[in-house]
Amino acid sequence: MSVLKQIQESEQYITQQLNASKPTIGLILGSGLGILAEEIENPVTISYSEIPHFPQSTVSGHKGQLVVGKLQGKQVVAMQGRFHYYEGYDMQHVTFPVRVMKQLGVEKLLVTNAAGGINESFDPGDLMIIQDHINNMGDNPLIGKNIDELGPRFPDMSEAYDRELRKLAEAAAADLNLSVRKGVYVGNTGPTYETASEVKMLRTLGGDAVGMSTVPEVIVANHAGIDVLGISCISNMAAGILDQPLSHDEVIETTEKVRQQFIQLVKQIIQTM
């Protein structure tokens, strides 16, 4: 079956479950941040396992369902749990849900993640509006024959994170009296955290934060003509900055500590989106 047909079948299944209008805003919720989906009103929850052609989520701390409903008066579709390249999915599977969101009618995508701080002026618990990214994954979801119905062969990435949405996010933070960082997200494959030397290299290359997600989804969203906003929760300082080892527990702990702030910010953003 063609990818196009798969996307359509996924979308049709989801649409059949909905009792309200289709979502125009997509949310991809990263490690420890999936809790935001619980704020969605009149939610229709669809497990990934039910949706034809959808991959399945495996990592702990990720739920694996779509939640569709109203948030701040806007109809949204949230991914509670995403697919990571390091889990062994290929780039097409990692980004399949973004294709389905587009088919559903999503025009704007808010992507969140936990990331290690490369910028030494950052602190764990900071929220960072992603200005741009560096694809350091050595792969690209658009490699292969281009499907012209989905987007152009050579998509522009000069404003991968929409300027207006970034401004809107900054204004939302200011409204809440919340100080936020801005910076460049580096996407690594993982699953290892970086070595201290790799972090030094990424800093030299212009990175402010590093994580193991987001870049593939953002590439496909741009290909599909979806406007993207990205927010990282700096869950830890990247390797070599502090004299302590990194752990997934620390990542989860920090994101839980700041999740009220994060939820507030995302809700404020969606309200003005």
Report in angstroms how near the CB of residue 88 gets to ligand HPA at its nearest.
Answer: 17
Going from the C-alpha of 269 to that of each of 68, 82, 151, 161, the distances in angstroms are 18, 21, 27, 15
Task: Assess 212 for contact with ligand HPA (CB under 6 A).
Answer: yes
Going from the C-alpha of 67 to that of each of 70, 241, 265, the distances in angstroms are 10, 37, 19
Task: Assess 187 for contact with ligand HPA (CB under 6 A).
Answer: no
Distance, CA of 155 to CA of 182 (rounded, Å): 24
Whether 213 is a known active-site residue: answer yes
- Interface with ligand HPA: number of residues (CB under 6 A): 14
Q: What's the token pair of residue 117? A: 């701080």
Report in angstroms how near the CB of residue 24 gets to ligand HPA at its nearest.
Answer: 29
Q: Of the candidates 236, 266, 270, 273, which one interacts with ligand HPA according to CB under 6 A? A: 236
Distance, CA of 248 to CA of 225 (rounded, Å): 34
**Strands 108-117 and 127-135, how do they pair?**
unpaired
Which residue number, 150 or 252, has a Cβ lying nearer to ligand HPA? 252
Report in angstroms how near the CB of residue 152 gets to ligand HPA at its nearest.
Answer: 30
Question: For the chain, what is the largest distance between any 2 Cα atoms, rounded to a whole number of angstroms?
Answer: 52
Going from the C-alpha of 11 to that of each of 22, 77, 105, 112, the distances in angstroms are 11, 12, 10, 23
Which residue number, 75 or 254, has a Cβ lying nearer to ligand HPA? 254
Report in angstroms how near the CB of residue 188 gets to ligand HPA at its nearest.
Answer: 6
Which residue number, 34 or 43, has a Cβ lying nearer to ligand HPA? 34
Catalytic residue among 37, 78, 79, 114: 114
Whether 1 is a known active-site residue: answer no
Task: Assess 186 for contact with ligand HPA (CB under 6 A).
Answer: no
Task: Assess 184 for contact with ligand HPA (CB under 6 A).
Answer: no
Task: Assess 80 for contact with ligand HPA (CB under 6 A).
Answer: no
Residues classed as catalytic: 31, 62, 84, 86-87, 114, 212-213, 236, 248
> Site residues (CB under 6 A) for ligand HPA?
114-116, 188, 193-194, 210-212, 235-236, 238, 246, 251
